[in-house]
Structure 1
Amino acid sequence: MSVPREEARVIPISAAPSFEQPDPVAELLALIRRRITGDYEVDEFGYDAELTDKVLLELIRPLYNHWFRVETVELKNVPVEGGALIVANHSGTLPFDALMMQLALHDEAGRPLRLLGADLVYQLPVLSHLSRKTGHTLACREDADRLLRGGELVGVFPEGFKGIGKPFSDRYKLQRFGRGGFVASALRTGVPIVPVAIVGAEEIYPKIGDLKSLARLLGLPYLPITPLFPLLGPLGLVPLPSKWMIEFGEPIRTDDYDPSAADDPMLVFNLTDHVREVIQQMLNELVLRRGYAFPPFM
Structure 2
Amino acid sequence: MPTSKTAPAKKAAAKKATGPARSAPEKPRLRAVTDEDAAAAAAAAAEEAASRTRTAGAAPLSAGIPIDEILVAVVQAAQRILGTDWESRIATLLATIRKRMNGDYEVDEFGFDPQITEVLIAAVEPLAEKWFRLEVRGIENIPAEGGALLVANHSGTVPLDGMITGYAVKKYAGRNLRPLGADLVFSLPFVGQVARKVGATLACTEDAERLLATGELAGVWPEGFKGIGKPFAERYKLQRFGRGGFVSSAMRAQVPIVPVSIVGAEEIYPLVGNVPSLARLLGLPYLPITPFFPLLGPLGLIPLPSKWIIEFGEPIRTDAYDPESADDPMLLFNVTDQVRETIQQTLYGLLVDRGNAFF
State whether TM-score is above 0.5.
yes
CA distance in 1, matches of 2:303, 2:177: 23
Q: Which residue of 2 aligns with 1:47?
A: 112
1:260-295 C-alpha deviation (Å, 9 max, x unpaired): 000111111111111111110111111111111012
- Structure showing greater radius of gyration is 2
Q: Please give the secondary structure, in 1, of the residue aligned with 2:345.
A: helix
Percent identity (aligned): 66
With over 3 angstroms needed to count, the CA separation of the structure-2 counterparts of 1:261 and 1:40, relative to structure 1, is: same
CA distance in 1, matches of 2:306, 2:175: 26
Relative to structure 1, the CA distance from residue 125 to residue 257 in structure 2 (aligned partners, 3 Å threshold; closer, same or farther) is same
Hey, what does 2:103 align to over in structure 1?
A: 38
1:188-207 matched pairs, under 5 angstroms = 188-207=252-271
What do residues 97-140 of structure 1 show as CA deviations (whole Å, max 9, x unaligned)? 00110000000111110000001011113111000000101111
2:157 counterpart of 1:93: yes
Residue number in structure 2 paired with 1:64? 128
Change (3 A) 1:24 1:157: closer
Deviation at 1:23, TM superposition (A): 5.1
CA distance in 1, matches of 2:90, 2:210: 38
Aligned to 1:79: 143
Task: Please provide the CA RMSD for this pair.
Answer: 1.3
Q: How does 1:154-193 map to 2 (within 5 A)?
A: 154-193=218-257
Which has the larger share of helix? 2
Aligned partner of 1:17 in structure 2 is: none
Question: In structure 1, how many angstroms separate the alpha carbons of the residues matched to 2:87 and 2:263?
Answer: 36
The 3-state SS of whatever aligns with 1:266 is: helix
**Is residue 307 of structure 2 the alignment partner of residue 235 of structure 1?**
no
Q: Which runs of 4+ in 1 moved over 6 A?
A: none
Gap runs ≥5 in structure 1: 1-20
- C-alpha displacement of 1:29: 3.5
Matched pairs, number: 274
Give the secondary structure class of the aligned counterpart of 1:125.
coil
1:181/1:27 CA distance change after superposition, 3 Å: same
Q: Which runs of 5+ in 2 are unaligned?
A: 1-85
Deviation at 1:27, TM superposition (A): 3.4
User: Deviations for 1:195-227, whole angstroms, at most 9, x for unmatched residues?
Assistant: 010000000000011011111110000011111
Shift of 1:236: 0.5
Match of 1:212 among 253, 270, 276: 276
Q: Where do 1:98-109 residues align within 5 Å?
A: 98-109=162-173
Could you list the per-position Cα deviations for residues 70-121 of structure 1 after superposition, in whole angstroms to 9, with x for gaps in the alignment? Answer: 0001111111111000000000000110011000000011111000000101
1: distance between equivalents of 2:90 and 2:251?
A: 47
Deviation at 1:22, TM superposition (A): 8.2
CA separation of 1:176 and 1:28: change in aligned 2, threshold 3 A: closer
Question: How far apart, in 1, do the equivalents of 2:95 and 2:349 lie?
Answer: 47
Matched, 1:254 2:335: no
Q: Residue 231 and residue 271 in structure 1: after superposition, are their counterparts in 2 closer, same or farther (change >3 A)?
A: same
Alpha-carbon distance change, 23 to 244 in structure 1, aligned in 2, over 3 angstroms: closer
TM-score computed with the length of structure 1 as normaliser: 0.90
Q: Partners of 1:30 and 1:202 in 2: how far apart?
A: 37
State TM-score, norm by structure 2.
Answer: 0.75
- Is 1:119 aligned with 2:180? no
Q: Which has the higher contact order (CA 8 A, sep 6+)?
A: 1
